[in-house]
């Protein structure tokens, strides 16, 4: 950031010399004179007197000096914030993450990231696919975990890894003992589904197999669905990451055809211009690659 006339004027007063102020500010003596003259012209006041013994403030200059000091301090503070953002030393990142990532990835990602950048703050929006898409639409998140099937407009999306989609069955279900089933084998079962705007994963598996199921129950919360399956109310199809550590009361079975979802990271247009957000996005890519390559 170029030296402002306020900072140059303050240096002149502080050092009592145009020459010393020029050396401190890294500019020519002519530039110092021009800055002081510019400030005097802007205020319409004579602020300093020059003599062979140096520079002295006029009464008007004395009166304005506290205000100039506050401006200089504000400029220094502003530059410090700018430098911190450029080096990812500060700022706030607004993240959106659906349940499986919010539970199983994000706490560890943030902990590892803040070990390197402790001054960065985070605001998190959790929810289902629909909530994350809405967060991008209304500008409330800068970067978010998405699936390839979500098609978030106006964002740059980076693929991170693939996640299997598994059949989730009650422990005592006849299909629970099998290593692999077909989607067609679920057609006669009472099905527990996420709400319509967030059930893309299960719908994609069933549609690809040409299978229709009877949706007996609908819920918004992923873990509520797992609990309902565990209670024997029906079956479902869910991502493997979501089931990590939460499948004790149910059985999970691979569905023939190796159905998967692609987890990605989307960065909004506004976030793409933020060095802090871009640095975090790069960190996430490396974090996932190290664990899922």
Alpha-carbon distance 271 to 281, whole Å? 10
154 plus 277 within the same structural domain: yes
Q: Tens digit of pLDDT per residue, the chain (293 long)?
A: 445 888 888 888 888 888 888 888 888 888 888 888 988 898 898 888 888 778 888 989 889 888 888 888 888 777 666 665 555 555 789 999 999 999 999 999 999 999 988 888 999 999 999 999 999 999 999 999 999 888 888 898 999 999 999 999 999 999 999 999 999 999 989 999 998 888 889 999 999 999 999 999 999 999 999 999 999 999 999 999 999 987 778 999 999 986 899 999 999 988 887 888 989 999 999 999 999 87
Shared domain check, 166 and 243: yes
Q: In the 8-state DSSP scheme, what is residue 174? A: G
What tokens were used for 177? Answer: 């003992």
Query: What would the pLDDT profile of 215-236 be if each residue is shown by its tens digit?
Result: 999 999 999 999 999 999 999 9
Helix, strand, coil proportions of the chain in percent (round to 5)? 50, 25, 25
The two structure tokens encoding residue 268:
């909004």
Note whether 160 and 282 are same-domain residues.
yes
CATH code of the domain covering residue 28: 1.10.10.10
From 70, 86, 102, the end of a domain falls on 86
77 and 207: one domain? no
Tally of residues, the chain: 293
CA dihedral 197, 201, 204, 210 (to 10 degrees): -110
Cβ-contact 142, 274 below 8 angstroms: yes
Half-sphere exposure (Cβ direction) of 1: Cα atoms closer than 13 Å:
13
Mark which of 66, 86, 106 sits at the end of a domain: 86
CATH number at residue 115: 3.40.190.290
Residues 191 and 271 in one domain: yes
In a shared domain, residues 15 and 150: no
Q: E strands within 58-154?
A: 91-98, 120-127, 143-147
Asked whether residue 168 falls in the same domain as residue 269, the answer is yes
176 and 47 both lie in a single domain: no
Regarding whether 206 and 134 lie in a shared domain, the answer is yes
Cβ neighbours of residue 77 closer than 8 Å, sequence gap 6 or more: none
Alpha-carbon distance 92 to 283, whole Å?
15
Tell me, yes or no, whether 113 and 253 share the same domain: yes
Full residue range of the structural domain in which residue 65 is found: 5-86
What Å distances lie between residue 224 and 70, 94, 215, 231, CA to CA? Answer: 56, 26, 15, 11
Long-range interactions of 48-51: CB distance < 8 A, separation 24+: 48/12, 48/13, 50/18
In total, how many domains does the chain have? Answer: 2
Last residue of a domain, one of 53, 86, 119: 86
Q: Are residues 156 and 79 in the same domain?
A: no
Q: At what angle do helices 29-43 and 18-25 cross, to 10 degrees?
A: 110
**Are 13 and 60 in a shared domain?**
yes
């Amino acid at each position: 950031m170029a030296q402002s006339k306020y900072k140059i004027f303050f240096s002149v007063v502080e050092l009592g010399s145009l020459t010393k102020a020029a050396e401190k500010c890294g500019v020519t003596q002519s530039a110092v004179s021009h800055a002081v003259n510019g400030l005097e012209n802007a205020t319409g006041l004579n602020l300093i007197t020059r003599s062979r013994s140096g520079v002295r403030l006029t009464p008007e200059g004395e009166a304005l000096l506290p205000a100039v000091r506050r401006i200089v301090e504000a400029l220094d503070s502003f530059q410090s914030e700018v430098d911190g953002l450029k080096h990812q030393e500060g700022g706030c990142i607004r993240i959106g993450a659906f349940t499986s990532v919010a539970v199983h990835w994000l706490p560890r990602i943030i902990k590892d990231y803040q070990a390197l950048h402790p001054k960065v703050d985070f605001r998190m929006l959790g929810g289902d696919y629909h909530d994350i898409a809405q967060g991008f639409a209304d500008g409330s998140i800068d970067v978010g975990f998405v699936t390839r099937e979500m098609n978030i407009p106006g964002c740059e999306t980076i693929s991170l890894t693939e996640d299997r989609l598994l059949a989730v069955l009650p422990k005592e279900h006849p299909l629970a003992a099998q290593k692999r089933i077909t989607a067609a084998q679920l057609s006669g079962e009472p099905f527990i589904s996420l709400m319509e705007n967030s059930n893309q994963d299960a719908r994609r598996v069933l549609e690809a197999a040409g299978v229709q199921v009877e949706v007996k129950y609908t819920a918004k919360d992923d873990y509520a669905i797992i609990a309902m399956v565990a209670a024997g109310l029906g079956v479902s199809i869910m991502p493997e990451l979501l089931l990590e550590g939460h499948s004790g009361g149910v059985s999970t079975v691979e569905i023939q055809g190796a159905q998967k979802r692609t987890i990605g990271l989307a960065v909004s247009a506004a976030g793409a211009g933020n060095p802090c957000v871009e640095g975090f996005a790069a960190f996430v890519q490396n974090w996932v690659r190290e664990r899922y390559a």
